[in-house]
A and B are shown apart, each in its own frame.
Chain A
Amino acid sequence: MSLKTSELPFKERVERQVHNEIMRRAVVKAQETIGANRQKMVDELGHWEEWREAAKQIRNHVLENLDAYLHQLSEKVSQNGGHVFFAETAEEATDYIRKIALEKNAKKIVKSKSMVTEEIGMNHVLEAEGIKVVETDLGEYLLQIADDKPSHIVVPAIHKDRHQIRKDLQEKLGYQGTETPEEMTAFIRKVIRRDFLEADIGISGCNFAVAETGSLCLVTNEGNLRLATTMPKTHIAVMGMERIAPTFKEVDVLITMLCRSAVGAKLTGYNTWLTGPRLEGETDGPEDFHLVIVDNGRSKILESEFKEVLRCIRCGACLNTCPAYRQIGGHGYGSIYPGPIGAVISPLLGGYQDFKELPYACSLCSGCNSVCPVKIPLAQLILRHRENIAQSGMTPLTERLSIKGFNFANAHPAIWDGSVKIGAKLAGRFIKNGKAPIRAGALAEWTKARDLPQPEGESFRSWFANREKN
């Protein structure tokens, strides 16, 4: 499973990221810029809340009829001359893709950005066969040459600044130009162009698959997806099984919400709707088309209390709003799916073992809920994970004991009453100038960044009771 982007333990990752000045500045800039652009687009569209309801309705309908739509989609793709492979596990998916690559005797593969292909660890499997896999999305390409990991689901290299990028280009590709984004981009365009022309196979993800026509909708800006699906003789598309729209009419609503939420644009530069291999007489486009439909834990989610998260259209608006993500960036989460959406799906797709801290790296502020274009109750689902973790005994014993004590006191008014009065007196006696004599546990954690509250020395209830008497 390839969700993990780091072997470091959570606390260490957070420590490192919080001190990574470049990343922090970059993430703040990303949030502010995309956030402002998103708001402009929300205002421009008008009736935003109604559009969200419409998008939610569409996604819910698809999830409720997922088996039927997958059936219809596969029928259509097949009728159009494409091949469909249903993959329950990541291994099944990568095995199939490897098989096709070997059958085609592929030496070079060009890839456009696809989260699900990262999730299933596809690149490693192909590279192990000696096949060169080129990430052609600019951000992913920059990460690939530097052997780095994505930190955002839409702008994956946001944590790098131009100096770092220039250094990587120079070291890996002999780049001699300046560090202006324009010049570096032009250089990369030339370098990757050759790959497009030479590649045997193009591999893409899929934003939405249209059940009615057996089409794939891809939402892009750079032109790399178009090239990857125009030049090579074979096209393999990989999709998460839930990424379906019934017809193009629903695609319209979904890409409207996706583009405005993800990058603050009405639509991206290219919306490419591909249907099967090339037609008789066409001289570009793939001759052979394969659609790999991936489960990898999604059907389990559909059955669970987390099913609403499958509405996700991977816009990243939740990341761009999250105040916790703002401080630790994608690498802090240690998953290819970071931020609020990652806090929900990383444990689901990748397991609690590796990702149990993520649901706690959240203040439950619900900013994510308010920007999600398909109204996923992310904060509530994050809280649900905490419940699962707490109820299965994965939390520290000290925590469980103190919660037990707290709950006991709270269920017994006489005990609670006494504790509050004593607590108030102790606080008044011992907290001076925002500091306490003991620096352990919660007190130590609180006082890392803050002073303790200035107490008033007497509990409210004592004050109230006393004045009743008088």
Chain B
Amino acid sequence: MNVNFYVTCIADIVKSGVGKHSVLLLEKLGCNVVFLEKQGCCGQPAINSGYAKQAIPGMKNLVETFEVNDYPIVAPAGSCVYAVKNYPEYFERFGESDWAARAQKVADRFYDITDFIVNVLKVENVGATLTGKAVYHPSCSLTRKLGIVREPLTLLQNVKGLQLLPIHNQQTCCGFGGTFSVKMAEISGEMVTEKVMNISEAEPDYLVGADVSCLMNIAGRLSREGKKVKVMHIAEVLMQNEKGEN
């Protein structure tokens, strides 16, 4: 199956490993991965700061980029997928009905990677091995906004040797919120500190998530506190085998 990969700007710039492992994972599951270089950012930094109107040209670029084929588009971050799913509404509101229709077609092809693997590729066990205790962080975008709750858990529960530990207030936001993390740094800082406190209580080896933005936030605080928890994107976990990384 041909699949477009949507890397997300965070993964593209500072966490290419997440992108790399996502691509390798999709290929391992039999996909032919296409990376359309014209892709840019989903526009969240502008949109979520109230500049959706000014972000329209960027949104158009993204829509156009993915119109060159009709393959599904897979991303390693729920927040970006959610942002694109809202494009039709923004185009409509700013009087661009034609673009709204075009955006709808593209948005309908957008998938978070766990959703894609479980519901499109129909795979629940990718044959990975990772021994240790892990806490899974369910990102707000994935769970509350996209409704993708059980897919990441199913994939992780089938990882040989991996023990998932519950934590207090597991569903609570990690405090990233995009520009919120720097515009409201005090509040964001308190939120991520509390999240790390709850994670640490479980004493896991790993912190796993499906949203690279949340992971970047939580990892930043874990590092600041000198905690030895290894932060991994679910794609990285699913590429692990008995000998270590694939």
Contacts and interface: CB of A to CB of B under 8 A. Distances in A.
In-complex A–B contact (CB below 8 Å): yes
A14 interface: yes
A383 B53 CA distance: 13
A456 interface: yes
B13 interface: yes
Given A387-B52, A449-B189, A456-B17, A363 B175 contact: yes
A456 B45 CA distance: 22
Interface in B14-45: 14-17, 19-20, 23, 35, 37-41, 43, 45
Interface in A401-448: 403-404, 406-407, 409-413, 416-417, 420, 423-424, 427, 431, 434, 441-442, 445-446, 448
Contacts of B7: 460-461
Given A327-B190, A370-B144, A461-B7, A364 B180 contact: yes
Contact of A327 (B39, B48, B183, B187): B187
Contact of B145 (A324, A366, A424, A448): A366
A104 B187 CA distance: 49
A420 B9 contact: yes
Which of B40, B48, B50, B223 is packed against the most chain A CB atoms within 10 Å? B50
B180 A461 contact: no
Nearest to A427: B14
B188 A363 contact: yes
B54 interface: yes
A456 B144 contact: no
Contacts of A18: 186-187, 190
A185 interface: no
B16 A424 contact: yes
A160 interface: no
Contacts of B9: 420
A460 B50 contact: no
Interface residues of B, number: 66
Contact of B193 (A390, A449, A460): A449
Interface in B218-239: 219-221, 223-224
Contacts of A460: 7, 11-12, 16, 19-20
A409 to B, nearest CB: 8
Given A18-B190, A388-B50, A464-B23, A410 B61 contact: yes
A404 B144 CA distance: 30
Contacts of B144: 365-367, 369-370
Given A410-B41, A416-B40, A448 B185 contact: yes
Given A365-B140, A365-B177, A366-B144, A453 B219 contact: yes
Contacts of A360: 180, 183-184
A434 B220 contact: yes
Contacts of A367: 140, 144, 171-173
Nearest to B175: A363
Given A369-B144, A390-B49, A410 B181 contact: no
A453 B184 contact: no
Contacts of A72: none
Nearest to A24: B190
Interface string B187-227: 11111111000000000000000000000110111011000
A403 B14 contact: no
B109 interface: no
Nearest to A462: B16
Given A424-B16, A451-B220, A365 B173 contact: yes
Contacts of B187: 14, 18, 324, 327-328, 361
Which of A363, A366, A416, A458 is packed against the most chain B CB atoms within 10 Å? A363
A389 B173 contact: no
A45 B179 CA distance: 39
Nearest to A446: B182
Which of A386, A391, A406 is packed against the most chain B CB atoms within 10 Å? A406
B50 to A, nearest CB: 3
B37 A413 contact: yes
A431 to B, nearest CB: 8
Interface in B109-152: 140, 144-145
Contact of B16 (A324, A390, A458): A458
Nearest to A404: B54
A434 B46 contact: no
A389 B51 CA distance: 9
Nearest to A368: B144
A360 B49 CA distance: 8
B140 A463 contact: no
A450 interface: yes
A15 interface: yes
B223 A455 contact: no
Contacts of A400: 51
A459 interface: yes
A324 B187 CA distance: 6
Contacts of B191: 323-324, 326-327, 363
Given A390-B50, A434-B220, A455-B13, 7 more contacts: A363-B173, A364-B178, A367-B173, A400-B51, A410-B61, A445-B185, A463-B19
Q: Which 10 pairs show the lowest CB-CB distances between chains A and B?
A: A363-B177, A449-B189, A450-B220, A390-B50, A386-B50, A365-B173, A411-B57, A410-B58, A460-B19, A445-B182
Interface of B: 7, 9, 11-17, 19-20, 23, 35, 37-41, 43, 45-46, 48-55, 57-58, 60-61, 65, 140, 144-145, 171-173, 175-178, 180-194, 216-217, 219-221, 223-224
24 contacts: A14-B184, A324-B187, A326-B191, A327-B190, A360-B180, A360-B184, A363-B175, A365-B177, A367-B140, A387-B51, A390-B49, A410-B41, A410-B58, A410-B61, A413-B39, A416-B41, A417-B37, A450-B223, A451-B219, A453-B14, A453-B220, A461-B12, A462-B16, A463-B16
